[in-house]
């Protein structure tokens, strides 16, 4: 798994320089359909995004649409600035992508598995291919550029 995480972090550097239970799961699915930002716990993350315990160092995306995963904390100022932007983009792109959030304080094992040491950290996951990570509060225009070019392949 460490080899896989090192590859993700190498991509993170390149990407950053470009700028670029049952009832809960049912509600999360409804949120995805409506274009809401969906908060994930570890079990939901492994079911909807990546089961890192089962797949180890081999990236296998579990979702149907590209997604963004926002690793955040409620007390984080920059996270609070990015949150309404992501909510807006989740609604704007509701038919094309899903926006998830993972609270690093509540899900510290999950955050540790991805080596999250700075928040906000955004994981951009295309439907096929390797995800990329960006750290910091990216402005709306940069997020749109990343969604359009990296996640959706628009030019």
Terminal-residue alpha carbon distance, the chain? 33
DSSP state of 148: I
Q: Is 20 a catalytic residue?
A: no
Which residue out of 12, 67, 76, 146 is catalytically annotated?
76
Return all residues near 22 (Cβ < 8 A) that are at least 6 apart.
Answer: none
| Active-site residue flag, 76 | yes
**DSSP string covering 28-60:** HHHHHHHT-EEE--HHHHHHHT--HHHHTTS--
Structure tokens at 50: 């990546």
Q: Among residues 20, 67, 79, 146, which one is catalytic?
A: 79
Active site residues: 76, 79
């Amino acid at each position: 798994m460490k080899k896989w995480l090192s590859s993700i972090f190498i991509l993170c550097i390149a990407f950053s320089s470009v700028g670029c239970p049952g009832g809960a799961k049912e509600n999360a699915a409804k949120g995805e359909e409506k274009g809401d930002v969906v908060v994930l716990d570890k079990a939901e993350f492994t079911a909807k995004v990546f089961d890192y315990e089962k797949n180890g160092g081999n990236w296998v995306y579990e979702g149907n649409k590209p997604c963004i995963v926002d690793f955040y904390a409620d007390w984080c100022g920059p996270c609070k600035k990015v949150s309404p932007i992501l909510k807006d983009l989740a609604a704007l792109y509701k038919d094309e992508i899903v926006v998830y959030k993972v609270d690093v304080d509540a899900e510290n094992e999950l955050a540790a598995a991805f080596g999250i040491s700075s928040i906000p950290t955004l994981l951009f996951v295309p439907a096929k291919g390797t995800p990329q990570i960006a750290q910091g509060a990216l402005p709306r225009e940069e997020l749109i550029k990343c969604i359009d070019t990296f996640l959706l392949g628009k030019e």
